[in-house]
Amino acid sequence: QKLVYDFTEGNKDLKDLLGGKGANLAEMTNLGLPVPPGFTITTEACKVYLDSGDEPPELRDQVSAQLSALEKRMGKQLGQADDPLLVSVRSGAKFSMPGMMDTVLNIGLSDESVNGLAQQSGDERFAWDSYRRLIQMFGDTVLGIDGELFAEALDEAKREQGAVSDVELTSAHLKALVEQFKDIVLKETAREFPQEPREQMDLAVRAVFDSWNGDRAKLYRRQERIPHDLGTAVNICSMVFGNLGPDSGTGVAFTRDPASGQQGVYGDYLQNAQGEDVVAGIRNTVPLADLEQLDKKSYDELMTIMETLETHYRDLCDIEFTIERGKLWMLQTRVGKRTAAAAFRIATQLVDQGLIDEAEALQRVTGAQLAQLMFPRFDSNGGVKGADQIGWGIAASPGAAVGKAVFDSYTAIKWSRSGEKVILIRRETNPDDLDGMLAAEGILTSRGGKTSHAAVVARGMGKTCVCGAEELEVDTKRRRMTTSGGLVIEEGDTVSIDGSTGKVYAGEVPVVPSPVVEYFEGRMHAGADDADELVKAVHRIMAYADRVRRLRVRANADNAEDASRARRFGAQGIGLCRTEHMFLGERRELVERLILADARSEREEALKALLPLQKGDFVELFESMDGLPVTVRLLDPPLHEFLPDITELSVRVALAESRRDANENDLRLLQAVHRLHEQNPMLGLRGVRLGLVIPGLFTMQVRAIAEAAAERKEAKGDPRAEIMIPLVGTVQELEIVRDEAEAVIAEVEKEHGVELSLTLGTMIELPRAALTAGQIAESADFFSFGTNDLTQTVWGFSRDDVEASFFTAYLEKGIFGVSPFETIDKDGVGSLVRNAAEAGRATRPDLKLGVCGEHGGDPDSVHFFHEVGLDYVSCSPFRIPVARLEAGRAAA
Ligand code: PEP
Ligand code: MG
């Protein structure tokens, strides 16, 4: 088996085998670009090593052969005493994985060859500095020595010399430092720093293999859902040096601006330096454009290469390069990361340049990026004036939030009730903070990462959140926070947090609405001459998506306002109108009467009062969705939601009784509350069960729908109502409701002398319904998958409690990378959906299929629903553009 590939042998499509870095180095080599010669050890070799604990037996010989070829080509041997070939050893998996061991440079230097390097380069200081770096990197990443020990020794040396930066250290100082570093190695590992160059290389390769199973790498893979068995490749590349004087240097470049997508010269350059100096910020970099003055020849060559790369990859590329004494070398390239706005702009620019077609443009953007562009953001036009950045944490949940600092949930709730906007600031949050988080505009913590409780819960709530802002010291006892600069933020001081960048400001930063939302709302036109470039790009991409998508997109909406917004955002109907939302507010009292009714007459009275109100709602809704389907779901939630809280009511009645003035109504109410109290209301008297138990309730709703439709018809409208029965577990339930509903509809049709063509279908949201979908389809015109309840019942997770309880632990342990309430669990819940869809259609080929759980607006889930052949997804109005885009991407 071939386990080692020369850079001339690979190409960019071999990422599985050569890793991302190796595949792209090979691609550049074959494009004739100046890549320092080298070779890649495959992921296959790594896999064998990880499985067996040993390198594959043939690896050593293959590496030897490849190394000799390299030595021959370079005219010198690895570590050769008088003129050493030096190499770098770098990891490179298929997916880039921050947190893995990265690089060891200068392999091949030893006590002997350091002199050879000094001689050849004519620069003694450079040679000893290179050796110093080797021992430091090797000690840290290969031998596992605490990097602080080296850093401290270096600092100490600088202090002794009164030097500010290490460039001020002379070769004599560096020689002494090398001795110290070697002592550290001996002391920490009980053996000498290896002098044999091949041994250095082999140990570094092994360390790269081992790093695949480091704790951080494993955790990262679980979270990102990268399979654990891919392994990493190892790249061995001949060294070139950017620190050989003023005609040398190192830099990074982008073929376009990764922030805006604009073409131009973007990047940074650092003269007389190596890559890690840029990261360490020892000296300030200069803009890439300045390279033209410094080294015109290299600059021109780089510009030509950038054009070649962009045309070749047909995308934005980022590049690492080094100039060694006036000669340009390419060290790395890859398709570059970009901001959400740039992604849209670049995709359309590339279409205009004829580099990609529309279908490909759709693959270059994501629904998550579109969602990001729809959050309000801080005004970047100098708006940050008057507010100082005081910290920087992890951008955990996007958006911009401004409010008064509060340090406990109780205050957050109290202040927000009195109309204040607050930012809840905690060291970290826990489930007790839930209500406070809900009340706050945004959440800021000084501890924890992207999967901390605060981050997970905030994302679930759609709240802006910055977490892990470590330089902020939060003192909840004294209700204040101190910045690293000593500024104290007291309770009540205004702070602003940016959940898209992680920045934290003292004071108020003005918030501007997203131009993309302004566009979807119809307040900004993509066609206008001065239209925002981003808006134009979004407009075009959305048009591509709409042209190709097969899935229709509907909205979950239960009032005319949401319905109209949904329509502006492109909804093709309503997939779920939750009628329980129409029973709250002032109407709650009527529902209370309905529940309390002992006698038939009382019940009928209550229903009669509700009927016109319901009908009015539907008339409005059908009007705003005229000509488009509207699925109205009959009442679903447990009845106790309409009744007073059991504890509060008990206390009130007990107090009244002690004063002997308890009133009759309260007593009756308390009885009813007790009667209807359930331990597991979500599994109790809900949905169709209610309809079967409370006579007249569902028929009242059906009548309201039918009369509203008749009224709209008489007004020359085009109502297209669909009646949906929730929480059905068996076809018998559906048959009973259906018979009653059909009778009512026939009556209304007769009364009004119109034909209403109402359809009647069911939600599939219980496992039993999914498993007997073939039978249920006999009584249903359509299915709408209620994936919220289906997820709850398939997993046995309480949808109301679980995210705040043990999900953080599950996410941290990598049991899932994302909540199954957010992204459909394809293997479990998804397979029920797939089978039920098939069984339903087998019974009734024209059965209409949709989904109205939260998953309807989730990008990954939309692709799944496309794949299993549903007709539509339904989601909240704000997610409609995302669903349209993803449906297009799924079909393109
Ligand atoms: C569902 O269960 O997926 C659903 C849409 O209904 P609700 O969220 O109202 O229970
Ligand atoms: Mg449900």
Mean pLDDT, residues 11-16: 96
> Could you tell me if residue 341 is inside a domain?
no
* 376-382, long-range: CB < 8 A, 24+ apart: 376/400, 376/511, 376/512, 376/513, 376/514, 376/517, 377/498, 377/500, 377/511, 377/512, 377/514, 378/496, 378/498, 378/509, 378/510, 378/511, 378/512, 379/509, 379/510, 379/511, 379/512
Last residue of a domain, one of 335, 357, 386: 335
Cα dihedral 117, 123, 129, 133, rounded to 10, equals -40
CA–CA distance from 513 to each of 365, 377, 378, 882 (Å)? 22, 7, 9, 18
Q: Which atom of ligand 1 is nearest to the CA of 785?
A: 3
- Does ligand 1 lie within 6 Å of residue 787's CB atom? yes
pLDDT of amino acid 223? 63
pLDDT of amino acid 279? 57
Write the CATH number for 41.
Answer: 3.30.1490.20
Report residue 462's pLDDT band, with 50, 70 and 90 as the boundaries: low
Indicate the DSSP class of residue 645.
Answer: -
- Does ligand 1 lie within 6 Å of residue 781's CB atom? no
- Does ligand 1 lie within 6 Å of residue 786's CB atom? yes
In sequence order, the 6+-apart residues with CB closer than 8 A to the CB of 745 are 702, 706, 756, 758
> Could you tell me if residue 423 is inside a domain?
yes
- Does ligand 1 lie within 6 Å of residue 852's CB atom? yes
In sequence order, the 6+-apart residues with CB closer than 8 A to the CB of 846 are none
pLDDT of amino acid 457? 74
- How far is 369 from 365, CA to CA, in rounded Å? 7
Q: Which atom of ligand 1 is nearest to the CA of 853?
A: 3
| Lowest model confidence (mean pLDDT) among 336-340, 767-771, 874-878 | 336-340
Token pair, residue 791, equals 């997820």
> Could you tell me if residue 797 is inside a domain?
yes
Residue 231's nearest CA partner among 450, 22, 35 is 22
Q: Mind listing the pLDDT tens digit for each residue in 782-798?
A: 999 999 999 999 999 98
Task: Say if residue 722 is in the same domain as residue 620.
Answer: yes
Which residue has the CA at smallest separation from atom 4 of ligand 1? Answer: 786
Structural domain range at position 52: 1-99+210-238
Write the CATH number for 257.
Answer: 3.30.470.20
Last residue of a domain, one of 512, 528, 562: 512
Tell me, in angstroms, the distance from the centre of ligand 2 to residue 786's CA.
5
Task: Say if residue 844 is in the same domain as residue 727.
Answer: yes
Write the CATH number for 126.
Answer: 1.20.80.30
Tell me, in angstroms, the distance from the centre of ligand 2 to residue 550's CA.
25
Mean pLDDT, residues 470-476: 92
- How far is 338 from 831, CA to CA, in rounded Å? 35
Report residue 801's pLDDT band, with 50, 70 and 90 as the boundaries: confident
Tell me, in angstroms, the distance from the centre of ligand 2 to residue 279's CA.
51
Task: Say if residue 806 is in the same domain as residue 699.
Answer: yes
Task: Say if residue 92 is in the same domain as residue 118.
Answer: no
- Does ligand 1 lie within 6 Å of residue 853's CB atom? yes
Nearest ligand atom owner, CA of 790: 1
Token pair, residue 873, equals 């997804």
Which of 578, 580, 582, 583 has most ligand 1 atoms within 8 Å of its beta carbon, as the pocket-test mutant? Answer: 578
Q: Mind listing the pLDDT tens digit for each residue in 52-101?
A: 999 999 999 999 999 999 999 999 999 999 999 999 999 999 988 766 77
Task: Say if residue 581 is in the same domain as residue 480.
Answer: no
Task: Say if residue 190 is in the same domain as residue 214.
Answer: no
- Does ligand 1 lie within 6 Å of residue 789's CB atom? yes
Task: Say if residue 602 is in the same domain as residue 744.
Answer: yes
In the chain, pLDDT over 70 holds for what percent of residues? 97
> Could you tell me if residue 875 is inside a domain?
yes
In sequence order, the 6+-apart residues with CB closer than 8 A to the CB of 666 are 649, 652, 653, 656
- How far is 57 from 208, CA to CA, in rounded Å? 18
Task: Say if residue 328 is in the same domain as residue 305.
Answer: yes
Task: Say if residue 802 is in the same domain as residue 876.
Answer: yes
> Could you tell me if residue 710 is inside a domain?
yes
Active site residues: 453, 852
> Could you tell me if residue 504 is inside a domain?
yes
- How far is 695 from 805, CA to CA, in rounded Å? 38
Write the CATH number for 413.
Answer: 3.50.30.10
Task: Say if residue 747 is in the same domain as residue 879.
Answer: yes
> Could you tell me if residue 534 is inside a domain?
no
Which residue has the CA at smallest separation from atom 5 of ligand 1? Answer: 853
Tell me, in angstroms, the distance from the centre of ligand 2 to residue 609's CA.
27
Q: Is the pLDDT of residue 384 over 80?
A: no
Nearest ligand atom owner, CA of 688: 2
Task: Say if residue 594 is in the same domain as residue 684.
Answer: yes
- Does ligand 1 lie within 6 Å of residue 788's CB atom? yes
Q: Are 710 and 745 in contact (CB under 8 A)?
A: no
Task: Say if residue 710 is in the same domain as residue 851.
Answer: yes
In sequence order, the 6+-apart residues with CB closer than 8 A to the CB of 645 are none
Helix (H, G, I), strand (E, B) or coil at 590: helix
Q: How many CB atoms lie within 10 A of CB 372?
A: 20
Instruction: Name the average pLDDT for the chain.
Output: 91
Helix (H, G, I), strand (E, B) or coil at 149: helix
The DSSP line for 811-844 is HHTTS-SS-TTTS--IIIIIHHHHHHHHHHHHH-
Q: What domain count does the chain have?
A: 5
> Could you tell me if residue 670 is inside a domain?
no
Q: Which residues of 479-509 are buried (b: 16+ CB within 10 A; e: fewer)?
A: bbbbbeeeeebebeebbbbbbbbbbbbbbeb
Which of 574, 582, 641, 763 has most ligand 1 atoms within 8 Å of its beta carbon, as the pocket-test mutant? Answer: 763
pLDDT of amino acid 884? 98
Write the CATH number for 821.
Answer: 3.20.20.60
Q: Mind listing the pLDDT tens digit for each residue in 713-741?
A: 999 999 999 999 999 999 999 999 999 99
Q: Which residues of 253-265 are buried (b: 16+ CB within 10 A; e: fewer)?
A: bbbbbbebbebeb
Which residues are annotated as part of the binding site? 578, 633, 765, 786-789
Tell me, in angstroms, the distance from the centre of ligand 2 to residue 347's CA.
38
Mean pLDDT, residues 601-625: 93
Which run of H or of E encompasses 234? Answer: strand 232-238
